[in-house]
Amino acid sequence: MKERMSTSAILDAMDEETKYLTPIFGSEASDAQMPRTRMNDEPVEPRIVYEMVKEHLSIEGNATQNLATFCQTYMEPMAARIMSEVMAKNAIDKDEYPMTADLENRCVAMIGDLWHANPDEEPMGTSTVGSSEACMLGGLGMLFRWKKLAKDAGIDIYTEQRPNLVISAGYQVCWEKFCRYWDIEMRLVPLEKDHLSLNMDTVMDYVDDHTIGIVAILGITYTGKFDDVQKLDELVGAYNKEHSNLPIRIHVDGASGSLVAPFVDPDLVWDFQLENVWSINASGHKYGLVYPGIGWVVWRSKEALPEDLIFWVSYLGGEEATMAINFSRSASQIVGQYYVLMRNGFKGFREIHLRTLDVARYLAAELEEMGIFEMYEDASNIPIVCWGLKDDADVEWSLYDLSDRLRMSGWLVPAYPMPANLQDVVVQRVVVRQDFSMQLAIKLADDLKKGIDVLSKARIVAGDVQEAAKAGFNHGGRSSVDRGDEVQTKTKPAWK
């Protein structure tokens, strides 16, 4: 009998030349492990690298079905096009790219205007990589301001008592980072089951002469709820009357809400209309409708932004203030932000957000009708739906199980415990974004019903299994459990 050649021997014997004619998924590269810990020695054809990397990424779930993230998962083709065309420009090179710097300044001015900044007070602001950087800057503004005022008031700022920041326990992790990096005591106002935002009855009990400021959250990450900034401003105003040498100011962490409220609820008073709101941040990449990588922080006036935070870079033969922490980054996101502001205008933003809210409210109504869920948020402010199981829901499964069931249809709808004081309450949250159409919401509601049906008929294995399946949620301030998703390694050698 004729001896058969092994597949690899046949491939080795193939003429090198023919390899350029080989289809991508017949290429040598498609039959070897992609580089893992050491670079490949030889270059690889771009069309093959493109396809291989794309394939590698394709199995991790698609962005549209990721209902955990607040970040934009859709931009229209012209927006993506202009963003990719300016990718090579470094936004910090203001002298070299003055027109990009000009677009950034226009964005700051337009966003400040949305938040009722008064041009006569000379508001200042900057783009950032996201709200984390923007909150860090807002926090630093408060810290530097407090240090100066405290010194002037004769307070020894170098005593054992650290400066403190007052915020609700529903804070996002960036505030914990800020406090840890700058050695600030984080004074947490607890959330309670029937009180899921900053408690106005107790918040001022946390304030003393070492308080650098209070953070109000417009869109608590866990639930989407808004703190009552207007009421807080009233309380702070009364406090400041008694403490005129060391007044307290408010930073509004509007990561998600500050670019929704001005459009859908223009009568809600939460911004620079309030005397004590001195700085506000937003994530341009959340409801600012830009792909991830952009945030904004604006101070109400020149006075509100301590000089120490400002650095000067050369610009058109003169100087331009810069206060971002990060230095080099692509101009794409800034240009993308300008594009969507101009493209949509006020009416366009309003329409997109109102429609997104409508879809979220449909989903909330569907969930409520199922009868077993307690609704913690039904998209009353921003398009976020958050629910838990009712105490008397007669089910043997948990929301972690339901989250797993939804994953089988591609939906990422995380289940997670609420923050300190409420850890026993497990909730699930959907962040509805512009690319989540009614069609998809109907499909999700359907899959939820099917999932519940399957779980209700299943025999549930309780115990550690559920514990192991727990996952955090994106941007929630708590890191996800590492699921140990090691990519399977092939025994074949990596590319030569």
Ligand X SMILES: Cc1ncc(COP(=O)(O)O)c(C=O)c1O
Q: Select from 249-257, 309-317, 355-363, 487-495 the region that touches ligand X (CB under 6 A).
A: 249-257
| CA-to-CA dists, residue 331 to 106, 362, 413, angstroms | 14, 37, 32
Q: Which is nearer to ligand X, 295 or 306 (CB)?
A: 295
Name the phi and psi angles at 426, rounded to 5.
Answer: -100, 135
* Closest C-alpha to 299, from 267, 326, 271: 271
* Closest C-alpha to 103, from 345, 348, 301, 333: 333
- CA–CA distance, 135 with 296 (Å, rounded to integer): 9
**72 near ligand X, judged by CB under 6 A:** no
Q: Which is nearer to ligand X, 253 or 377 (CB)?
A: 253
**Amino acid identity, residue 246?**
L
* Closest C-alpha to 378, from 391, 351, 359, 352: 359
Among 72, 127, 256, 337, binds ligand X (CB under 6 A): 256
Q: Which is nearer to ligand X, 235 or 259 (CB)?
A: 259
- CA–CA distance, 424 with 417 (Å, rounded to integer): 7
Strand ranges inside 110-235, DSSP E: 124-128, 164-168, 185-189, 211-217
Among 227, 253, 366, 401, binds ligand X (CB under 6 A): 253
Q: Assign residue 309 a region (left: φ > 0; alpha: ψ between -120 and 50; beta: otherwise).
A: alpha
**356 near ligand X, judged by CB under 6 A:** no
Among 221, 279, 337, 403, binds ligand X (CB under 6 A): 221
Contact 289, 352 (CB under 8 A): yes
Among 135, 143, 184, 331, binds ligand X (CB under 6 A): 135
**126 near ligand X, judged by CB under 6 A:** no
Q: Which is nearer to ligand X, 112 or 295 (CB)?
A: 295
Q: How many residues bind ligand X (CB under 6 A)?
A: 16
Cβ 255 to ligand X shortest distance, Å: 3
- CA–CA distance, 307 with 145 (Å, rounded to integer): 9
Q: Which is nearer to ligand X, 174 or 425 (CB)?
A: 174
- C-alpha count within 13 angstroms, C-beta hemisphere, residue 236: 24
Q: Is 177 helix (H, G, I), strand (E, B) or coil?
A: helix
Cβ 284 to ligand X shortest distance, Å: 8
**255 near ligand X, judged by CB under 6 A:** yes
Q: Which is nearer to ligand X, 167 or 448 (CB)?
A: 167
Could you say which residues in the range 280-319 bind ligand X, by CB under 6 A? 283, 295
**263 near ligand X, judged by CB under 6 A:** no
Name the phi and psi angles at 138, rounded to 5.
Answer: -60, -45
**Amino acid identity, residue 374?**
E
Cβ 492 to ligand X shortest distance, Å: 39
**130 near ligand X, judged by CB under 6 A:** yes
- CA–CA distance, 296 with 129 (Å, rounded to integer): 8
- What does the CA dihedral 39, 45, 51, 53 come to, rounded to 10 degrees? 20
| CA-to-CA dists, residue 438 to 322, 430, 444, angstroms | 42, 14, 10
Could you say which residues in the range 154-213 bind ligand X, by CB under 6 A? 172, 174
**66 near ligand X, judged by CB under 6 A:** no
Cβ 211 to ligand X shortest distance, Å: 20
**333 near ligand X, judged by CB under 6 A:** no
Cβ 344 to ligand X shortest distance, Å: 20
Among 52, 66, 68, 70, binds ligand X (CB under 6 A): 70
Cβ 135 to ligand X shortest distance, Å: 6
Q: Select from 95-103, 109-117, 124-132, 203-211 the region that touches ligand X (CB under 6 A).
A: 124-132
Q: Which is nearer to ligand X, 143 or 382 (CB)?
A: 382
Q: Which is nearer to ligand X, 247 or 477 (CB)?
A: 477
* Closest C-alpha to 45, from 24, 64, 61: 24
Q: Which is nearer to ligand X, 114 or 448 (CB)?
A: 114
Q: Which residues contact ligand X by CB under 6 A?
A: 70, 130-132, 135, 172, 174, 217, 219, 221, 253, 255-256, 283, 295, 475
